[in-house]
Chain A
Amino acid sequence: MDGREGRRRGDVNLDIGSLMVILLSTAITFGLFSILTGVDNPFFAWAENIYVGGAVGMTIVVSFTWIVSNLIQKIVSNPSANWPLIISFILGLMMLLRVHPKYSYLARIPISIATGVGVAVSTRAIIFSGLLYQIRATILPIFDWRDPATAFTNLMIVVFVITILTFFVYTTELKGPLKVSSGIGRLALFASFGALFAQTYMGRLGLFLGRMETLLIPETNFKISVIVALFMLITIIVLKNYYPETLKKLVP
Chain B
Amino acid sequence: MNQKVLGLLLLLGVILSSCNSNPNGESGDGLDVPDSLLTTNIGSDVDKAAMAEIIQNISSPVEMSALLKEEGIEFNYKFLSPTDNIDEFNTNFKQALNLGVLGADMGYLNMYNKTGAVLNYITAIKELSDVLKVGQFFNFETLKRLATNSENIDSLMYISVSSFDNMDSYLRENNRSDISALLVTGVWIEGLFLATQVVKENENDKVKQRIGEQGIVLEQLMIVLNLYKKDKRFFELITEFEKIQKALSKVKIKVEEGETEMVEVDGVLMAVSNSKTSVEVTDSQLKDIIKVVEEVRTYVIKY
| A and B bind | no
Give the A-binding residues of B (Cβ under 8 A): none
Give the B-binding residues of A (Cβ under 8 A): none
